[in-house]
Every structure is written in structure tokens, then in C-alpha cells.
């Protein structure tokens, strides 16, 4: 009997860091697409209705969450490169994706 062919691409691994990354990247979308949660005028801040300041609040929050996701991705890639058994076969000739 011949050995089965080796899988060239290992299956993706779901890690706690990747779950947090997914939550960080999806939270702004969910918050902005759920219009019913912020489609009101009260409470107003400095005369600005809730509808507007809530959306403007999400601009820096989204930037912060995206930065956090980026840091977590970089940390996970670094950890995968230093651990020989984690991550399966390495690609040659370029950066990992």
C-alpha cells in the first residue's frame, strides 16, 4: 500500500488570540449595522443628539480595536515562527500569510 499524499496546506487552527482578533474586527460592524440600538436623540452631549455622537465615538474605538487586532496578529505570527512544531509546514520564498 502506498502512503496517502501529504496535505500541502495544514488546516487553520482556531486559537484564543484569533477569536479575540475576530471579535475586535467585527464589533464596529455589528455596532454600526444595528441602527435600532442608537436611532434616538437622547441622551444629548453638548447639544449633539445621541445618534451622531455614538457614531463619532466608534471612529476612535474602531481604530483602537483594529490596532489591537494588528498587535495580536503580529504576536501570534512571531510565536508561530519561534515554535518549530506549531504551524506545520513553512512556506519558502516570502512572508507567511
Q: Does residue 22 register a pLDDT over 80?
A: yes
pLDDT confidence of residue 8:
73
Please give the average per-residue pLDDT across 58-69, as a whole number: 97
* Burial grade of 58 (CB within 10 A; 0-12, 13-18, 19 or more): middle
Please give the average per-residue pLDDT across 19-23, as a whole number: 95
Q: Where are the domains of the chain?
A: 16-82
Distance of alpha carbon 51 from the chain centroid: 26
Q: Does residue 84 register a pLDDT over 90?
A: no
pLDDT confidence of residue 14:
86
User: Among candidates 27, 32, 51, which has minimal Cα distance to 41?
Assistant: 51
What is d(CA 3, CA 1) in angstroms, rounded to the nearest whole number?
7
What is d(CA 14, CA 23) in angstroms, rounded to the nearest whole number?
13
Amino acid at each position: 500500500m502506498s502512503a496517502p499524499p501529504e496535505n500541502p496546506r495544514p488546516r487553520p487552527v482556531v486559537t484564543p488570540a484569533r477569536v479575540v482578533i475576530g471579535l475586535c474586527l467585527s464589533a464596529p460592524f455589528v455596532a454600526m449595522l444595528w441602527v435600532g440600538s442608537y436611532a434616538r436623540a437622547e441622551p444629548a452631549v453638548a447639544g449633539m443628539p445621541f445618534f451622531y455622537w455614538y457614531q463619532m465615538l466608534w471612529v476612535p474605538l474602531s481604530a483602537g480595536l483594529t490596532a489591537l487586532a494588528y498587535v495580536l496578529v503580529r504576536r501570534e505570527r512571531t510565536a508561530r515562527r519561534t515554535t518549530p512544531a506549531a504551524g506545520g509546514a513553512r512556506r519558502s520564498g516570502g512572508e507567511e500569510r
